[in-house]
Chain A
């Protein structure tokens, strides 16, 4: 019986119109942010800034939104003179720091996905190119089920004092499954955890992001799926590293591939390429 690892159905196709912002920095206190900002002399670049407040990370300062990469690059150069850690983001995902130019700009998921007419989805679900769209169910049948025998996925020893709730305060993760590559590439999916919902998305999407409810039961993450043959998934935090959370998963009660919840997109992309 066909089963999928976790349901993230993202038909990746054309690149949406990009928006760029410069993330100037994150500060423990509002006062520290104000101090840093006062060093920025150019009033033009002080316009339309925004501050994001997050209990876990503190105060993050963002530039206004740019629609042109060149404009954003120019702004990045100005901001980087004051804010050493300034980073350009594209649609909310880090793209480049101050020393990166268009020429040496690292390849992002966008680039990778653009190269592939058929993009494998997390869990081996594969979407056809937008020129040849096919129904989801057909796409699913073409690929091997991802549920593996219990013996092949020994449950690793869990670290002590792990808290999914605490770790989810990071809110944004880049997900990539462990194990054998199921398609031409191993996709990276962005997951944003809000209070009750997860929003799964990709840099390239033909359809709107998928939003699905979740809840924490004890220390387990329960996601109601309600599509394909999987009714729900359960995930458990198994390990926390400097760059990712290792999460073990069950679909309809049966173990499936572990998934890494990377904190930075670059790390997730690197992992997907190497594996």
Chain B
């Protein structure tokens, strides 16, 4: 019987053919924790009486939310993960020495492979679906169950097929595609469903775009987002293999059957898209950039970074736009490379000089600003264009602040103009 990609991954892990709606228990290939969710998992792990991780090399902790510590509370919280990692001599423990935002760092390290089943105590764990893996966010206690047993239970999700047609125009990126999809189906439009991205437009999307798209499927309620492995994926994996002296294991490539059963099919013509701006206070409030320009939205801050858009490609786009210009007098620009390697690569390419000379401030890799933790908190009434993934009330700071989600080109161009502008007009 025909299967979707997600059904095939679960079938391979379950050792039998499984389909949407079935409950399966499977082994987890990579369990991801971070500095704010893992302490809860650790407590549950220790309270259970467990002494050893079931699969030590399939568990990683990435210190990324409040690292370096922003205050005493976050320092003490981080200490819990550190103590656990050293006690269990964890192979995959990424702290300040080798830091990055987890959903950018793990693929970069070659720790995410096509065909994997991945869970993480972070809602944007779905990012890794860009590499053809099943990857989803779970609660901290679910994570502890996997730490103790090595596996977990899943209800195999139904799949929505999203066909991306056409060739994206200038300054149309993965961010615009996912914001358009969420605009169409709403923040609950894909509740507990897989979203499988297909179509001719995929060939034009680099891994950075695919990561952005998969990253934000949770904003429509999806269990996971997934892309088929193609030449772009394989080239990325080859790079990772060389950079890391090997990958974590062997990729397992699954392809959806032609007659696989989908619960819904949605088509998006990427050639017809304008850059999409998600207005406050929902990611589904997408509007074309032309509308934002007409609304004459002056901005106080621009934030380029996060697990959605903090990759080298984003910094290249931003640097190209701000080169030789200055950020508007009343506007601030924060750039947060998603990993230390991205930061170094940007430095090597001269992007840091361009960004800093333009007036940007560059922070360490962290989730801080995106979640309103530190490194870019918004004050009362301030308006921010952010390449992040959520624009809820109070998400990045004051309750009266506003976040407009956009791609990196819109963000950079807007920083120069001091208001939201269309980068295609530059």
> In the complex, how many angstroms separate the beta carbon of A31 from the nearest chain B beta carbon?
7
Q: Identify which of A38, A59, A192 contacts B188 (C-beta below 8 A).
A: A38
Measured CA separation A35–B281 after assembly (Å): 18
Question: B393, A30: Cβ atoms under 8 Å?
Answer: no
Q: What residue in chain A is nearest B137 (Cβ atoms)?
A: A31
Q: Is the CB of A51 within 8 A of B398?
A: no
CB atoms of B393 and A34 under 8 A apart = no
Q: Is the CB of B187 within 8 A of A52?
A: no
Q: A50 to B377, Cβ gap below 8 A?
A: no
Q: Is A195 an interface residue (CB 8 A)?
A: yes
Determine how close the nearest CB of chain A comes to the CB of B404; give it in whole angstroms.
14
Q: Mark A48-68, 1 if CB is under 8 A from B, else 0.
A: 111111110001101000000
Contact of B395 among A48, A53, A62, A171 (CB under 8 A): A53
Answer whether residue A170 sits at the interface, using C-beta atoms and an 8 A cutoff: no
* Contact (Cβ within 8 A) B221 A53: no
Q: Chain A residues near B392 (CB, 8 Å)?
A: 50-53, 59
Residue numbers in B under 8 Å from A37 (CB-CB): 187-188
On chain A, the number of residues with a Cβ less than 8 Å from chain B's Cβ atoms is 24
User: Is A34 within 8 A of B372, CB to CB?
Assistant: no
Are B191 and A35 within 8 A (Cβ)? yes
Residues of the B chain whose Cβ atoms lie less than 8 Å from the Cβ of A54: 394
Shortest CB distance A69–B (Å): 23
A46, CB-defined interface residue at 8 Å: yes
A51 and B281 contact, Cβ closer than 8 Å, known pairs A31-B221, A194-B398:
yes
Q: Given the known A-B contacts A34-B188, A34-B191, are A52 and B394 also in contact in the complex, defined by CB atoms under 8 Å?
A: yes
Q: State the CA gap A55–B123 with chains docked (Å).
A: 15
Which residues of chain A (1-58) have a CB below 8 Å from chain B?
29-31, 34-35, 37-38, 46, 48-55
Closest to B395 in A: A53
| In the complex, residue of chain B having the shortest beta-carbon distance to the beta carbon of A40 | B188
Q: Does B187 contact A34, Cβ atoms closer than 8 Å?
A: yes
Tell me, rounded to whole Å, the shortest Cβ–Cβ distance linking B58 to chain A.
Answer: 24
Q: Is B390's CB within 8 Å of the partner chain A?
A: yes
Chain B nearest Cβ from A93, distance in angstroms: 14
- Residues of chain B with a CB closer than 8 A to A197's CB: 380
Q: How far is the CA of A50 from the CA of B123 in the complex (A)?
A: 19
**Residue in contact with B390 in the complex, picked from A34, A49, A53, A192, CB distance below 8 Å:** A53
Given that A30-B123, A38-B191 are known contacts, is A50 also in contact with B281, CB under 8 Å in the complex? Answer: yes
Q: Which residues of A contact B221 (CB under 8 A)?
A: 31, 34-35, 38
> Are B282 and A51 in touch, CB under 8 angstroms?
yes
Roughly how many angstroms separate A31 CA and B126 CA in the complex, as a whole number? 13
Query: Which residues of A have CB within 8 Å of B188?
Result: 34-35, 37-38
Q: How far is the CA of A131 from the CA of B139 in the complex (A)?
A: 58
The docked-state distance in angstroms from the alpha carbon of A51 to that of B394 is: 9
Q: Of all chain A residues, which has the CB nearest B189?
A: A38
Chain B residue, CB-CB nearest to A51: B392
Q: Chain B residues near A62 (CB, 8 Å)? A: 393
Instruction: Among A29, A51, A197, find the residue whose CB has the most chain B CB atoms closer than 10 A.
Output: A51
Given contacts A30-B123, A34-B191, A37-B187, contact A50 B280 (CB under 8 A): yes
15 contacts between A and B (CB under 8 A): A34-B191, A38-B221, A49-B187, A49-B282, A50-B392, A51-B281, A51-B392, A52-B394, A52-B399, A53-B392, A53-B393, A60-B393, A194-B398, A195-B379, A195-B398
Q: Which residues of B contact A (CB under 8 A)?
A: 123, 137, 139, 186-188, 191, 218, 221, 280-282, 285, 372, 377, 379-380, 390, 392-395, 397-399
